[in-house]
Structure 1
């Protein structure tokens, strides 16, 4: 069934999408060739996906949209602006506060977007027929290349989608359909000679423009990595405790973005620059309560406290050493090891030695290694310089 989106049908679909709270609605065909699949394979073959085994396991399904659904003819790309009302990098100037990525300061956007997509898909099917399937970024569909093809934006040098209207702040979702929708014009790359997003990266996670080594990315390190974060990156984390907005926030195209996102996507007050001291006192129940219906919840309390403790170690605030000291007896070796590192950054040698003697019964090999690393030599400064 063919529907021309150049006439009233196009207007009707877009109007319905806007009514549901989407900020963009674009159409594209499903191409026979899909270069994005080859680029993903190269990324995985180079090992740049790190511990994200699910990427390697689903590489075949991600190789082409029709690998997800053979009958798909067209795609609708939907976007919701989540641009912050203020500078998300300002929190980096207060090392006693935790920096949580903008997208994770409110309710889990996956659920919000998925509900809207399903509502729009039901409306589309009832109005125009055909079959539909809904996708958010938890599904193995390469949404950013699809969005670029649909003209929603282009993949910038930081590999994220950039929009002329919303900068780097778009949540994306897609609807594949058997309908033959008239495509919108694709977007061209508009980064020009700018490389601000590459220069600002604290851990130098971009080997080249348009390439990302996830193993060096703070978002990967603080969210996907399950064990201790490698020592070479810990100082560069600063007070970033969940994700990193640096490369997104520095993009010049953000100046065209809306001043604030829809209210439902606004930050919860408790998650906008929270106190590291308060976060360090979270037990499992407190963690679950604070992050209910929030994406941070999925990494669990222990991994989150690991991040908080690295931030405490980077704070330079000796008063926070007491918070880290209390966690030397935590049931989780991941937390205990991070507490050792934080204390080693904040107290003098005598105090550190006394604490090490008091915890000489430690049996976990990684925690013992953290004690030994500081006992033999202090961490080198500027390891990324």
Structure 2
């Protein structure tokens, strides 16, 4: 079974919704205009309940099916990124310095498409909870929604989400049983020395040399402190020091990211990083402070739900267009918080060639929106068939 016929009928509407959302990108937990648009469409569709103001601007809508049954949760993220758009498209961002560079406008549209179909047909038992979430990119909106009790408040039994995948065949799916995306942590290192004239380094305690040595030593955590088959990435992404060529500065700053799956590996990294920062600072006679921020946990699919979701994806995309054991990757996703609270699965939907995620030239492929909406709809109908 390919795209649901009724969803194909309003594919043009979905394109219009998505391109409108693309023009009004909002950041973090502050997505009032996006949420307002979502609520207007949901009212038009005739859903049974709309709950606003969750995680500040998040929305949960309920659609009642035929007869008693559990509640299945479907989640879409709504926020954008602080990136200057460079697509030059007619529907490009109208908000300078902000753009939907990760396709959350498309994710929201796919869930709206599924909502319209499910509210019309109600060919399922129990209920559907449609979760429109802010702050996936920064702020952990999924975690905030869980903390505010959405799983218990709406009696959600299991939960699912989709993310588009540039470079993967348009309309094809992939997922993985168990871990699919990594935990993400952030570190900041502030080095304080004594600056001075660049011609008189002996009169200084140079924070630049210390920062460079700290950066080099941190890389040995991956190569010398952990088992090579345990996934681990440590990337230093910023080093800032100095303002002029003939002055040794007083301070230096390093920043980076850590990606892990195993909590024991994460703890080892935290301990070794603290030792390295303290030891290198002592060796160069400077002071250094490590600020280690634990971020999103690993995204771990329930194996049974991932297998079930893959089977539904095969109905929509075709038998040979679903990769059910794609392995795990080092990106991160705050849907992890929802999967910690309830069993479920996270899948990727290919969107074909084009710019990658978080790139100023990225744009969501509107042709895959009916496919994603059909997947959500068939997931509900298959998981909770009407009597």
What's the TM-score bracket when you normalise by the shorter of the two chains? Answer: under 0.3
Higher helix share: 1
Higher strand share: 2
TM-score, length-normalised on structure 1?
Answer: 0.21
TM-score, length-normalised on structure 2?
Answer: 0.21
